[in-house]
Structure 1
Amino acid sequence: MKTVFASWQFWALLAAVFAALTAVFAKIGVSDIGTGLATLVRTLVVVALLTVILTLTGGWQGISGLSGRPVLFLVLSGVATGASWLCYFHALKLGDAARVAPIDKLSVVLVALFGVWILGERLSTINWLGVVLITGGALLVAV
């Protein structure tokens, strides 16, 4: 039997909690500084935290095994993350966190669509219903 710590659902829920805190903390953080600088500070904190975690857990092992295609897509993911963060912080500077975050979470819908289109994943009817409901819910909260 899997422990709760070995469950993807546990980690996904924890990610959602931290993402929610990110929105609240970022809204406060961007109140008096530019969104680019705010994104840089956030990025430096992430880099420092990950450096400590990798060092403490021995995660640096295997770095020599990195190769072309995976690295390319990790770099593209990093570019997309940076662009997302810049846009998100700018949106938070201009709008309410309670309205910005749901629109940002339309990324869930886009991941489902891109997963089907690009990755060839399949969604059941109930999964598609969830995609529609998430879309509707995000738009209702954002209005």
Structure 2
Amino acid sequence: MAATWFYWALASAFFAALTAVFAKVGLQGIDSDFATFIRTLVIIAALALFLSYTGKWQGVGSFSGKNWTFLILSGLATGASWLAYFKALQLGNASQVAPVDKFSLVLVALLAVVFLDERPSVQEWLGIGLVAAGVLTLALKR
């Protein structure tokens, strides 16, 4: 049970890969910002159905100011990320855009050290460095 996060992370990676491929095809001939809006509506509908099916709706009255602040900031960051991602997919190759987008892994590690007081091991820093090198290698292909 302790490693179930890993399977969810793999599922996330798989669906993110599908997102890039599906979006690249779906963006042909339409504005990337409007496409992001359509994508967001689909996500809202799918999540509403999922929450209803699993009975996971909950009241928000117990949310703290901190909960609200950081969920709103996260939502704004997600929206900005999606807008930038779709524009990048519209302009570039999915095989280049997706790896650069995954540079977020490196940025998450750095921000987690600064703001969350996380301390990656030497092995983890090595992996983070390899990801950074891989992103640069893929992004700079000619």
User: Per the shorter chain, which TM-score range?
Assistant: over 0.9
Instruction: Give matches, 1:23-62, under 5 Å.
Output: 23-62=20-59
How much has 1:36 moved relative to structure 2? 0.8
1:17 aligns with 2:29: no
- Matches of 1:76 and 1:63, distance apart in 2: 17
How much has 1:141 moved relative to structure 2? 1.4
Instruction: Give matches, 1:53-92, under 5 Å.
Output: 53-92=50-89
Which of 112, 122, 133 aligns to 2:119? It is 122
Q: Which amino acid aligns with 2:106?
A: V
Which consecutive unaligned segments of at least 5 residues does structure 1 have?
A: none
**Identical pairs, percent:** 54
Normalized against structure 1, the TM-score is what?
Answer: 0.94
Q: Which amino acid aligns with 2:135?
A: A
Which consecutive unaligned segments of at least 5 residues does structure 2 have?
A: none
How much has 1:56 moved relative to structure 2? 1.1
How much has 1:61 moved relative to structure 2? 2.5
- Matches of 2:64 and 2:41, distance apart in 1: 25
* Regions of 4+ moved over 4 Å: none
Q: Over aligned residue pairs, what C-alpha RMSD do you find? A: 1.3
How much has 1:63 moved relative to structure 2? 2.9
* Aligned pairs, number: 140
SS in 2 for 1:135: helix
